[in-house]
Every structure is written in C-alpha cells, then in structure tokens.
C-alpha cells in the first residue's frame, strides 16, 4: 500500500518525537497539568435546539487493547491498566442510516498499521483478532451498500479503517479542517494513514451553527435536533463529537478521542506526554476541550471512543 513507503521514510522524525514525549512524561506523572479554573468558571451552557426526531443506536465493538492508567489520565496514582475499545456506531435516523467511526477492517494489522511510521504500530495495535466492519454489519443483517454515509469523529486510522470493507459509493462526511489537516501536507500527520481514504467521496461539512451546551460551534445535521455535531478540536483540528437524541430518551455524546477515558473528564487531566504529545495535534486546545466536557450539564452521557467500560455499557443498553 502506498502509505507504507511514507511510514518508512518517517521513522527517524517519529523516533525523535517519541524520545521527546518519553522524556517529558515522568515529571507529568508526578505533577499533572493543572486545570484552568478561570476558563472553567467562564464556561456557560448554551441551550440545545428542540428535538423533533430521535435515532436508533447500535454499538459494534470491534477491538480492544489496554494502556497504563497513569498515562491515559496523567498523574493518576495507579499501577493498573485501563481496558480500551475500538468500536463503530450505527445510527438510524428516520431519513438516513450511517456509521459514526467505521473503525476497523478485519486485516487492519496487515492492511493499515504498516502505513504508520515505526514505532507507532507497536504502541497502538489492537489485540488480535479484531472484528472487521463487514463482519460486524453482517452479524446485524445490515447491507453495507445500504449505508448512506460514514461520519468519523476524526481521521486517525483506528476511526476509519473499516471503510476498506465498504463500497466506494458510501461517502464520508467530515469537517473540511480535518480533511486539509490529514491530506494536504507532504506526509500524513502522526496517527493518519491515507490509504483507506483513496477513491472515496469525501464530503466536507462545516460546524457553522451556534454554540450548544459548553461547545463553541455546532451543526444540526438533520435540522431536527436529533444529531448534533459539536466542536471537539484539539486532538485533531477537525475532531467532532456526535450528540444523539436516542429513541429511549437519552442524550449520548460520542466524543471520539477528545479523551480516552472518562477519568480525564472527571479529573480534568491530559493524556501523559507519551503518547499525548504524539497524537494530540494541539495540546492546549485538547486540554481546553476537556474543560468543556467537564463542565457539561447533567444528563449528557459522554462516551469516549476508547473507554471500554463506557462503550460496553452503551452496547449493553
Ligand atoms: Zn482513536
């Protein structure tokens, strides 16, 4: 695949980035970055638009791995590990059926991970085997050709690799800022593999709607309040959250990788420099977004894409 060449040529700068991130980590495990109490105090919650429709939500858990608790939420005094999920979400709106985060294809270790520069594949590979998106859809009797579009929360490899198993006619919708960040430069940013995007129709959309809750920008995808896209920039420039009004009356925010675990929201903690410095495109903005998540009003169920317990609880609902 074309991107594996890119992966090899990026080995040296990636190794240097890893060394810098590793060197910065021990101090942060002892003294985590402090929350910005002034910013937090200034956050207000804007009203949600009225809800005139609701959606069905099905969780497809595709893979898992684990990571040390103290690097997922820096400074948490634990020698334990947190289980991490990789999952796709089928959303059924009255006028469209789509997949948020078409996460993994069955052969992701062979087809996609070689596109990441060394040593990143060693850090991020899910346990084998994974459940490919085509198999996950088949288990639910869903025809991939019947999907109207896919909507990744961002363009990291573990949120889009499943499109390799979808017909090319299924378009991908996402903010133009995310597209230009991932595709315009001479090399893919860390965490991005461009191969799965080849040949697919990429339909840009903008978060040009008003503030909702603690988020500065939004997009009411169907104009009925049932699927609101909110700005979670920081992890990547075009990271979005997908706030759903589900048929059973809940408000679920699929929060991508703005955090990896709810602990970060509760405690207002960054990921540790290793690996946050490698994968958060703008650390300051990512930390600001964590404050916004922390300040959400009650009643919003935040599900970070890799928070295994939160994803599993959503799947069991
Ligand atoms: Zn991810």
Cβ 161 vs Cβ 104: under 8 Å = yes
* Count of Cβ atoms closer than 10 Å to residue 41 Cβ: 8
- The total number of structural domains in the chain stands at 1
Supply the pTM of this predicted model.
Answer: 0.94
Rounded Cα distance between 12 and 16, Å, is 6
User: For position 1, what pLDDT does the model report?
Assistant: 43
CB 302, CB 296: distance < 8 Å: yes
**Helix ranges (DSSP H) in 241-282:** 262-267, 273-279
Ligand 1 centre distance from Cα of residue 256 (Å) = 7
Give the tokens for residue 279: 């994968």
Q: How far away, in angstroms, is 24 Cα from ligand 1 center?
A: 22
Q: Which of 202, 154, 161, 208 has the alpha carbon at shortest distance from 181?
A: 154
Q: Find the helix packing angle between 11-30 and 2-9, rounded to 10°.
A: 60
Report how far ligand 1's centroid is from the alpha carbon of 306 (Å).
7
Q: How far is the CA of 297 from the centre of ligand 1 (A)?
A: 25
Tens digit of each residue's pLDDT, the chain (317 residues): 444 555 567 877 777 777 777 777 788 778 889 999 999 999 999 999 999 999 999 999 999 999 999 888 898 888 899 999 999 999 999 999 999 999 999 999 999 999 988 888 888 899 999 999 999 999 999 999 999 999 999 999 999 999 999 999 999 999 999 999 999 999 999 899 999 999 999 999 999 999 999 999 999 999 999 999 999 999 999 999 999 999 999 999 999 999 999 999 999 999 988 887 888 999 999 999 999 999 999 999 999 999 999 999 999 98
CB 249 within 8 A of CB 294: no
Residue 299 belongs to a domain with what CATH number? 3.60.15.10
Q: Residue 52 Cα, ligand 1 centroid: separation in angstroms?
A: 31
Residue 8 confidence (pLDDT)? 63
Strands of 96-100's sheet in order across: 56-68, 81-93, 96-100, 149-151, 172-175, 202-205
Which residue range(s) make up the domain with 23?
A: 2-316
- Which uninterrupted H or E stretch holds 243? strand 240-245
Strands (DSSP E) along 42-148, which ranges? 56-68, 81-93, 96-100
Look up tokens 């759903």; give the residue: 244
């Amino acid at each position: 695949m074309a991107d594996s060449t890119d992966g090899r040529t990026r080995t040296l700068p990636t190794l240097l980035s890893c060394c810098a991130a590793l060197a910065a980590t021990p101090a942060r495990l002892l003294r985590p970055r402090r929350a910005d109490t002034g910013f937090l105090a200034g956050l207000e919650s804007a009203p949600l638009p009225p809800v005139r429709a609701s959606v069905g939500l099905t969780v497809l858990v595709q893979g898992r791995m684990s990571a040390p608790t103290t690097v997922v939420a820096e400074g948490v005094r634990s020698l334990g590990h947190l289980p991490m999920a990789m999952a796709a979400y089928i959303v059924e709106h009255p006028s469209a059926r789509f997949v948020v985060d078409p996460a993994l294809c069955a052969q992701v270790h062979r087809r996609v991970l070689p596109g990441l520069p060394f040593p990143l594949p060693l850090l991020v590979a899910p346990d084998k085997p994974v459940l490919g998106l085509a198999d996950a859809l088949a288990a639910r009797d869903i025809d991939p050709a019947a999907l109207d579009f896919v909507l990744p929360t961002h363009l990291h490899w573990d949120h889009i690799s499943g499109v390799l198993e979808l017909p090319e006619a299924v378009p991908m919708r996402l903010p133009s800022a995310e597209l230009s960040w991932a595709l315009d430069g001479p090399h893919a940013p860390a965490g991005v593999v461009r191969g799965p995007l080849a040949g697919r129709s990429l339909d840009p959309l903008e978060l040009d709607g008003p503030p909702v809750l603690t988020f500065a920008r939004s997009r009411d995808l169907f104009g009925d309040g049932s699927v609101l896209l909110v700005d979670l920039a920081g992890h990547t420039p075009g990271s979005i959250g997908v706030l759903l009004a589900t048929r059973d009356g809940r408000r679920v925010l699929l929060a991508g990788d703005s955090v990896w675990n709810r602990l970060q929201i509760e405690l207002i903690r960054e990921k540790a420099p290793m690996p946050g410095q490698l994968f958060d495109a703008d650390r300051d903005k990512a930390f600001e977004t964590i404050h916004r998540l922390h300040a959400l009003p009650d009643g919003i169920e935040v599900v970070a894409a890799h928070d295994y317990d939160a994803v599993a609880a959503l799947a069991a609902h």
